[in-house]
């Protein structure tokens, strides 16, 4: 029986250069999708998946994330005084959402390095990794689907989505065979970072959700910096493959790259259209645009 997955790491120490100038001062993870920071979508996904302890890897100038999940006395007192009960409830709910720990990544030395920063807080147990800029609309939540695969198979699990055509070249691509009993599962044999379309080993693009075994930490410690002087998570997982089974899992749901301007625009339109309080009004507005 596999150990339960109780902890989730959110790497949020990056610079968010794709979203400049908005991210010069505001952490990318705090950019709002409709009315909620993208990081909160990920935290809610983890909690809805049974995660008990959230670990956020932060960096310089990213204190807004800690403030967001903390109590805001001035705001709460003002909302109370003004009788704004619903908003007060909303604000209080955020600060009591989950057990959250923060660890600072002193320099943005790569995603693998960010995950390694969480080693002591995770300890010797399997854990989830959620990249906050990948916002995923799924039911059951994406990381829950993956935890279920981990429980059943007992190896690390990487979320993938099927991409037809040359668009696959923008991703890390999974190499491996589809499982005979479950077509959503792939037995991972390797990964290729941003391959040419003709050289892509599959149509399975790796996206920002992982369930990893703790052995990845010792392997990341031995990983030398790769592309751009960064310690890549991919290299740690490739090393893991020499010791353990790793699975790709084509999750059910839709992923948005909210760390990218165009991806955020798509997510904004689609999430807004799902909000009952203004879906109809927004639809009418969109229909009225002479495009």
Q: How far apart are CA 109 and CA 156, in angstroms?
A: 23
Whether 133 contacts 256, CB under 8 Å: no
CB-nearer residue toward ligand UTP: 80 or 260? 260
Q: How far apart are CA 222 and CA 209, in angstroms?
A: 23
7 φ, ψ (degrees, to nearest 5): -120, 145
Q: How far is the CB of 36 from ligand UTP (least distance, A)?
A: 16
Q: How far is the CB of 224 from ligand UTP (least distance, A)?
A: 16
Burial of 215 (0-12, 13-18, 19+ CB in 10 A): middle
CB-nearer residue toward ligand UTP: 131 or 168? 131
Q: How far is the CB of 110 from ligand UTP (least distance, A)?
A: 5
Q: How far is the CB of 108 from ligand UTP (least distance, A)?
A: 3
Q: How far apart are CA 72 and CA 91, in angstroms?
A: 8
Among left, alpha and beta (phi > 0; psi -120 to 50; other), residue 16 is left
CB-nearer residue toward ligand UTP: 3 or 18? 18
Q: How far is the CB of 243 from ligand UTP (least distance, A)?
A: 25
Contact positions toward ligand UTP, by CB under 6 A?
11-19, 28-29, 57, 105, 108-111, 113-114, 131-133, 259
CB-nearer residue toward ligand UTP: 105 or 176? 105
CB-nearer residue toward ligand UTP: 17 or 162? 17
């Amino acid at each position: 029986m596999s150990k339960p997955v109780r902890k989730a790491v959110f790497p949020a120490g990056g610079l968010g250069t794709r979203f400049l100038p908005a991210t010069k001062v505001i952490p990318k993870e705090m950019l709002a999708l409709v009315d909620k920071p993208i990081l909160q979508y990920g935290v809610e996904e983890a909690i809805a998946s049974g995660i008990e302890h959230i670990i956020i890897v932060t960096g310089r100038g990213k204190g807004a994330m800690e403030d967001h999940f903390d109590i805001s006395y001035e705001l709460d007192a003002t909302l109370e005084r003004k009788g704004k009960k619903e908003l007060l409830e909303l604000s209080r709910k955020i600060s009591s959402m989950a057990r959250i720990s923060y660890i600072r990544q002193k320099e943005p030395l790569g995603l693998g390095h960010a995950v390694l920063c969480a080693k002591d807080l995770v300890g010797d147990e399997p854990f989830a990794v959620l990249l906050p800029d990948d916002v995923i609309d799924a039911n059951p939540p994406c990381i829950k689907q993956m935890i279920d695969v981990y429980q059943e198979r007992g190896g690390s699990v990487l979320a993938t989505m099927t991409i037809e055509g040359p668009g696959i070249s923008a991703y890390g691509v999974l190499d491996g065979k589809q499982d005979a009993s479950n077509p959503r599962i792939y037995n991972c044999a390797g990964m290729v970072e941003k391959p040419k379309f003709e050289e892509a080993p599959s149509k399975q693009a790796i996206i920002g959700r992982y369930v990893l075994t703790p052995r990845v930490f010792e392997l990341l410690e031995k990983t030398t910096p790769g592309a751009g002087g960064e310690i890549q998570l991919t290299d740690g997982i490739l090393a893991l493959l020499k010791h353990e089974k790793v699975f790709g899992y084509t999750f059910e749901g839709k992923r948005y790259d909210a760390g990218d301007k165009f991806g955020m625009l798509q997510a904004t339109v689609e999430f807004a259209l799902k909000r009952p309080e203004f879906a109809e009004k927004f639809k009418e507005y969109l229909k009225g645009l002479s495009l």
